[in-house]
Structure 1
Amino acid sequence: MAVTVRALREDDYAQWRPLWDGYTRFYDCVLDESVTAATWERALNPDSAMFCRVAESEGRVIGFALCILHDGTWSTAPICYLEDLFVDENVRGAGTGQALIAALMEEGKREGWSKLYWVTRENNPARKLYDRFGEADDYVRYRISL
């Protein structure tokens, strides 16, 4: 299956939205519609730190990576946080997730990012893919909802 990774476009919404809904279901999350709308708008806004890359095959969007580009204290170069990665369950295991991450790595090298990183659940089956790119570190995440 040939996969192309490209920037999100406005006309992708009808194909992106079912993937987004699948992603939130995977994490047992119910979001207010205003959050989804804001995420979509920020992902398209060239002035936002958030951006989205989609994986496309045969004219169909089959996966996405939502990222945040941010400053860091240990580098003068930007850092990319891969916040959300999702692939249509009907095509998982065929290289789409790998293509998305590889495309982000290439973009980061080209644009001068210092690092690409992400966080996932310990029992996420996608860790088999993630382990091909590097080792999980020993950091523990703390979260405080405000």
Structure 2
Amino acid sequence: MAGLKVRRATVEDAAEVHALMAALAAYEGLTPYLAATPASLEAALTAQPPRAAFLLAQIGGRAVGFVSWTRVYGIWRGCDYLNLDDLFVAEAARGAGVGDALMRAFAAEAESEGLGARWEVRTDNQGARRFYARLGAEQEEKVVVRWSAEAMRSGF
């Protein structure tokens, strides 16, 4: 798409990335659960080493999508990989190649470090699953388990 630019997000982009995260949370019906704030994103981006990385897609200078990830070590692979946290394209920009551009740029980031990637997708998100299959990503079904600090304290 003409005017589409994908670049690494910086601390100055924290508010724009957060606005896209809020749109993602609204889209998924999870707004009450969005804990990230512009300040926490700034802290993650400025930590050494950075706690998270983001690519920001813009059309005409307006933020329309992002992909976020962290670098982790996996015992099943015996090495580091990039754990893709979220991929989101604003509704008005869907179908314009933004998701492809973000994933292409994400793949370049992984390749530059000699790493593969892993991520999760909701089983009922058939559009995303078809998109990832088209990219050649393998899929397997798993259950995501979360254990909050509060639940850990009260669980025993």
TM-score where L is the length of structure 2: 0.79
Identity, % of aligned pairs? Answer: 28
Question: Structure 1 residues 44 and 134 mapped into 2: Cα distance closer, same or farther (>3 Å)?
Answer: farther
Structure showing greater radius of gyration is 2
Q: Which deviates more, 11-20 or 52-61?
A: 11-20
Which residue in the other structure is 2:80 paired with? Answer: 78
Greater mean alpha carbon deviation, residues 92-101 or residues 123-132 = 123-132
Q: Per the alignment, in what secondary structure is the counterpart of residue 6 of structure 2?
A: strand
Secondary structure of the equivalent of 1:101?
helix
Match of 2:13 in 1: 12
- The offset of 1:56, in angstroms, is 1.6
Q: Does 1:22 align with 2:23?
A: yes
Distance of 1:117 and 1:108 partners within structure 2 = 11
State the distance in 1 between where 2:67 and 2:48 align. 16
Moved over 3 A (4+): 43-46, 74-77
**Residues 142 and 76 of structure 1: is their aligned pair in 2 closer, same or farther, counting only changes over 3 Å?**
closer
The corresponding residue for 2:153 is none
In the TM superposition, what whole-angstrom CA distance separates every residue of 1:44-77 from its partner, at most 9, and x where no partner exists?
Answer: 5452231111112221211011101111224454
Once residues 51 and 73 of structure 1 are traced to their aligned partners in structure 2, the CA distance between those partners, rounded to angstroms, is 22
**Is residue 83–residue 117 contact of structure 2 (8 Å, CA) maintained in 1?**
yes
Deviation at 1:14, TM superposition (A): 4.2
Q: CA deviation at 1:136?
A: 4.1
Counterpart contact for 2:25–2:34, Cα < 8 Å: no
Local SS of the residue matching 2:74: coil
